[in-house]
Structure 1
Amino acid sequence: MSSTQDPPAEASRLRGHLRLPGAVALAITIVVGSGALVLPGIVYGQVGDAALYTWIAASAATVPLLVVFARLGAAHPGAGGVAGFAQAAFGRHAAAGVEVLSLGTFGLGIPAIALTGANYLTALPGLTQVPGPAAAALLLAGAAGVVAVGVSLSTRVQVVLALVLTTMLLVIGVLAVGAGEPAQHLPPPEPGAVVTGVLVIGAVFFAYTGWEMLSFTTEEYADPRRDFPRVVAISFVIVVVMYLLLALGVQTLLARDDSEALKAPVRALVAESVSPGAAGVVAVLGVVIIAANLIGAVWGASRLVMSSAREGLLPRALARLGGAAQPRRAVGACLAGFLAVLAANQTGLLSLSELLTIAGQNFYLLYLVCAVAYARLFRGAHRVFGIAVTAVLGGVAAFAFGPAQLAYCAALLLAGAGAAALRSRGATRTPRTGERS
């Protein structure tokens, strides 16, 4: 029997009031992160003008994954996101395993984003003396504060930030392309150049992650069946146009052997297309992107914590809704966990590279979970499509992931499934003699 202090399931459900504009803004800010500021230069340095093929291939490879997310999110909306899809397909034990895997992913990836953002924040005038860890903690606390205040404020903030970062990146790309001769820097129309570009697709795939985190917000959609597929499609088109413009701008204006420019390609584009003195705007842009990214990430992570608490995997108190019908305890728990990971980073237990690597590979496996769930839940041609996507993703994981990484993910999945099994066994245990059932 549940404790009398446990919140009723309906009492901890979030209101569905997120509509198309706010949802699209949230999607863009979750997907577009600091990678947009550095990856165009990294890939260009690796393969030259063939880099545009890399971005086109990554965009094309993402489409089947987004079809999976769009249909699953529309058919099974809920704060559980990917774990909710697993529960619909395979039951509560499997979902609990995915919840723990997701918590282990968000718990490492979000602090890593904050540490990356700290470099931009401390580049602003007056903040150069702020220690990096303190700047990262400040960014996390600010993001958690915006989410905790309420969806109304969070949505307005995300719309503004999405407009700012989208406009600035698009303008930088257009100015860069217009300042040079882009026709002279298009990738060669040769099979060898296409292969060269496609072979480094992994270098930019990180820029296309984030839609899986969006799935944790579908409980808050006013009409998820209608709007979630639209949000995925609209945000994807905007993001792809932005990335391709930046990639073409880098190829048009920057020299492949200019290592310093390619470490900060967007800053170099601003310096070349506007003026060297305007390059400082990139620090502001970086802070905007990271702030928006963190708000969206904390939003999604707090919904996962709330959903896991509602299901009994985490303490049920974390499922309670506070003022403005927000899971403020879940937000606070997320912030505490993120700050603990920052502390571990500062003591040398987890490097930034390790945080990014582990989180990135875990995100990939969440895509794989969604593909398996899709193949299970849909029939006919959709099932064949799901099986095909699963086979491709599984083959890549088996080839690219090391035994230690796979063992870590398996341990998280088994820990969650085991905890759910123990809870289920305890709930159905036969009462002792003399006890009422």
Structure 2
Amino acid sequence: MTAAGTHELRRSLNGVTATFIALGTVLGSGIMILPGLTYSSLDRSAWIPWAIAALSVAPLLVAYSWLGRSFPSASGVAHYSQLAFGRPLGATSGVLAIIALATGIPATALTGGRYAAQFTDEPALQWLIPLVLVGTAICVAASGTTVSGRVQTGLTLSLCIVVVVVCTAAIASADSPRPDLSFPGESVAAPLAAVFVAFTGWETVAFTFEEHARPDLIPRIFAISYVIVTTVYALILLALFSVVASDDPGLTEAPLLLLAQKVLGGDVGRYLVTGFVVAAILSNVLASAVALSRLVFGMARDRHLPRHLGVLTATGNPLRSVFFVGGTLLLIASSVCVGLLPFEQLFVLSGGIYFLLYAVGAASYAALNPRRGAKLVTLLSLVAVISVGVLAASSLVVSLCLAAGVFAVIKLVARTWRQPATDETRSGAYGNGET
């Protein structure tokens, strides 16, 4: 049964909740390991790839915020690209986004499980935590946008408070973090490709735009969440500079654990970081799972997926798509846990697809926005995407091949379905003529 006889999601998200959802979507597994990895490889020049990534993603946020304000749809980039370039590319973009999220969400949950197992010395948590996180996220998502939004707000707010308190204490305990202002040269390339992933997530938020009570606030929501995300990353880096040596072997495995132990002591720091990791991963998995369910709903409503997935309950909740997404995510996570799927390949696949979707979003922005400045924003966006994509060449090649295959299949299916309709129409026309 549909809500109020329509096929549109309820516009129930206010600006505050939407901002915390954006924060929870972006602050995922990248916050757990990437600051330590960059610090270990670049010493106190580690802030440079973060600064470059933060600046390079800004034009992309301008494009996606304008698209969301102008065309709020559960299909996100699939809707934008369909409006700009037609149904085949729209369907291809949607399928690729589903693949990216369906592989990226379990990868994030599995990362949380590995952290929890390492921090507690309980190997069973490596597979138990991911399944619990995904299952919990789906149950919360099934309860509706109001409940999931409140949970998301509480989790993300708590995470931000913990980061600010711990990092501020670490910075205050040292004379000065003193970042190195010298450019590290070619060695910045690999860290930059990795760090760019830490600034992805806003394109996923686009799948919830249809539920925003005031789409005109979307640019402001993006701007505020961007400032907070950048500040959180900067605080973590400065805190590491303050109390951890760049040659500490723990930086490549558990930088936040090192930070908490330095500030709070061994046992307290360990328990705090374990809770922090689980909460951060749950926040990201919940936000991304809700977004994926909206994408599946939107794609079904647009007749790109089976129509029964595009049905709403009387309260406006797309339960069928939520449970379909939940089953898919649990299946993929379980397959990795038992060794049927390689864990690392999930990140390679999802990361490469995001580069393509950024490019498609930027191109759609240029095609749909008549203002002159839109072309400059698109150019800057494409330069950023192509530059970082070249650094992550192997992932991008796999994704390009996948995109070409998906597009070819969609075109073939569309042509196959169109042909019988054409033949039937002609047959009817001849029959009328004979009569």
Q: Structure 2-normalised TM-score?
A: 0.91
Distance change >3 Å, CA 421–CA 83, structure 1 → 2:
farther
How many Å separate the matches in 1 of 2:267 and 2:3? 57
1:405/1:78 CA distance change after superposition, 3 Å: closer
Compared CA separation, residues 388 and 238, structure 1 to 2 (3 A): closer
Q: Is the 8 A contact 2:196 2:388 kept in 1?
A: no
Residue equivalent to 1:169: 163
3-state SS of 2:46 partner: helix
Question: Is the contact made by 1:14 and 1:220 (CA closer than 8 Å) also made in structure 2?
Answer: yes
Deviation of 1:193 after TM superposition, in Å, equals 4.1
Q: In the aligned structure 2, how far is the partner of 1:265 from the partner of 1:133?
A: 22
CA displacement, residues 180-202 of structure 1 (integer Å, 9 cap, x when unaligned) = 1225x3213x3x34775576311
Equivalent of residue 311 in structure 2, options 310, 315, 320: 320
Unmatched tracts of structure 2, length 5 or more: none
In the alignment, what sits opposite 1:275?
Answer: 265
Q: What is the CA–CA distance in structure 1 between the aligned matches of 2:108 and 2:191, rounded to whole Å?
A: 23
Closer, same or farther: CA 270–121 of 1 in aligned 2, 3 Å = closer
Change (3 A) 1:393 1:109: same
Matched, 1:406 2:409: no
AA of the residue aligned to 2:235:
L
Question: 2:151 corresponds to which residue?
Answer: 157
Shift of the 10–389 alpha-carbon distance from structure 1 to 2, 3 Å rule, reads farther
CA distance in 2, matches of 1:53, 1:398: 19
Q: After superposition, what is the alpha-carbon deviation per residue over 1:262-309, rounded to whole angstroms, capped at 9, x for unaligned?
A: 421111111112222221200000011011101100110000100111
Alignment of 1:138-149 (within 5 A): 138-149=132-143
Per-residue deviation, residues 329-348 of structure 1 (Å, max 9, x unmatched): 10111111112212332453
Q: Return closer, same or farther for 1:8/1:186 CA change in 2, 3 Å cut-off.
A: closer
Structure 2 contact 131–334 (Cα < 8 Å) conserved: no
**Which whole-Å CA distance do the structure 1 matches of 2:205 and 2:414 have between them?**
25
1:19–1:221 contact (8 Å) kept in structure 2: yes
- Deviation at residue 47 of structure 1 after TM alignment: 0.5
Match of 2:197 in 1: 206
Q: Is the 8 A contact 1:53 1:187 kept in 2?
A: no
Of stretches 214-223 and 399-408 in structure 1, the one that deviates more from structure 2 is: 399-408
Q: How does 1:272-421 map to 2 (within 5 A)?
A: 272-279=262-269, 280-322=271-313, 324-379=315-370, 380-394=372-386, 396-397=388-389, 400-402=392-394, 403-421=397-415
Aligned to 1:217: 208
SS state of the match for residue 6, structure 2?
Answer: helix
1:31 and 2:26 are equivalent in the alignment: yes
Opposite residue 387 of structure 1, the aligned amino acid is L
Question: For residues 153 and 31 of structure 2, what CA distance do their matches in structure 1 show?
Answer: 19
CA distance in 2, matches of 1:395, 1:417: 30
> Could you give the per-residue CA deviations for residues 80-99 of structure 1, whole angstroms, max 9, x where no partner exists?
01111101111222100111
1:187 has 2:180 as partner:
yes
Sequence identity percentage: 30
Distance 1:159 1:392, change over 3 A: closer
Shift of 1:119: 2.8
Contact 1:306–1:327 under 8 Å retained in 2: yes
2:51 partner letter: I
Correspondences of 1:417-436 after superposition (within 5 Å): 417-423=411-417, 430-431=424-425, 432-433=427-428
Matched, 1:238 2:206: no
Task: Note if contact 2:193-2:392 (Cα within 8 Å) is conserved in structure 1.
Answer: no
Aligned-pair distance for 1:364?
1.5
Q: Would the alpha carbon gap of residues 275 and 135 (structure 1) be closer, same or farther in structure 2, given more than 3 Å must change?
A: closer
Per the alignment, residue 45 of structure 2 pairs with 50
Partner Cα distance (2:416, 2:71) in 1: 26
1:182 aligns to what SS in structure 2? coil
- Could you tell me how far apart the structure 1 residues matched to 2:132 and 2:19 are? 26
What number of residue pairs does the alignment pair up? 426
Aligned partner of 1:119 in structure 2 is 114
| Residues in 1 aligned to 2:173 and 2:412: alpha-carbon distance in whole angstroms | 59
Show the counterpart of 1:135. 129
Closer, same or farther in 2 for the Cα pair 1:305/1:313, shift >3 Å? Answer: same
State how far apart, in whole Å, the 1-side matches of 2:392 and 2:275 are: 36
Determine whether 1:60 maps to 2:55: yes
Identify which range, 228-237 or 255-264, moves more after superposition. Answer: 255-264
**Structure 1 spans left out of the alignment, 5+ residues:** none
